[in-house]
Structure 1
Amino acid sequence: MTLVRMQPRPSNAGSNRSQRSHRTVHDAMEAAGPQVCDDMTVEVALAVMAGARAGRLLVSDEHGLCTGLITQALLTAIRDSAAYTDRARLRDVLGERGPVTSPSTTMAEAERAMRHRRLDALPVVDEEGSAVGILAFAR
């Protein structure tokens, strides 16, 4: 699991910048929304998304640990690919865990990590690795 870690900020930063650096992911995250287990098939996950009118799902393993976030666009692309079978499970298409962030991470650090990884959204997990929310760029 890749956790976005915060780095200490210099104390001489400007006051506006200082206020932003003290704002945490907890202050800006959205509710977790629909969560599914990684043994779910791609087709069922797409149906869950349609039913929930959601563009993304948080995915967890059999122990309830967040393994990632999957989007409707990615699932649709997988379903439409030549290699797709109706047995494809989310764990097969997600790959390894991560990246995730902690509610206590500063917004400045989380934004930097998201831009670096070119992510539109990032799961927020507690100390045990369970999803508590999603940090998403405003559109």
Structure 2
Amino acid sequence: MTLVQTHPRAMSTDAAHRTVADAMDAAGPQVPDDMTVEVALSVMAAARTGHLLVCDEDGQCTNLVTRARLTTLRDSSGYTDRVRLRDITDAGGPFASPLTTVAEAEHAMRHRRLGALPVVDEHGTALGVLALSR
């Protein structure tokens, strides 16, 4: 697996010192944590994305949910149509700072088996998503 790059890079950029801000994708759809799983899946389908950034009432990013996770939950025996994203997300991350090196972020993502990692500023505002390609 290698990191996805969506922006052209200058040839002089040292890969060991490149930051997450250099490699991240746009933040993409951000949804409130009171959204239901069914609506979130519809938003993902409409946006043609595999993940959504979940934000609290103050607009701070609290987590990232994937289509695979929501589909698995929806297909489980205990699922009801009243389940909201705040009920299933792990508040508090993990997140990356835009100043984190790509190497550090990639190591953390592999260790935690994450396909995507939200990038947030010091106020918790989502700036983008760092994704591993398959």
Aligned pair partner of 2:41 in 41, 46, 55: 46
Deviation at 1:21, TM superposition (A): 2.1
Within-5 A mapping of 1:64-75: 64-75=59-70
| Structure 2: gaps of 5 or more residues | 1-12
Is 1:23 aligned to residue 18 of structure 2?
Answer: yes
Shift of 1:95: 2.7
| Bigger Rg over Cα | 1
Percent identity between the two aligned chains: 67
Please report the TM-score for the alignment, with normalisation by the length of structure 2: 0.88
Q: Which residue of 1 aligns with 2:108?
A: 113
Q: Which residue of 2 aligns with 1:99?
A: 94
CA offset at residue 107 of structure 1? Answer: 0.7
Query: What stretches of structure 1 of length at least 5 have no aligned partner?
Result: 1-17
- 1:90 paired to 2:93: no
The CA deviation string for residues 16-67 of structure 1, in whole angstroms up to 9 with x for no partner, is: xx92221000000000011101000000001101111111101111111111
Q: CA RMSD in A?
A: 1.2
Aligned residues: 122
Question: Does 1:57 find its partner at 2:52?
Answer: yes
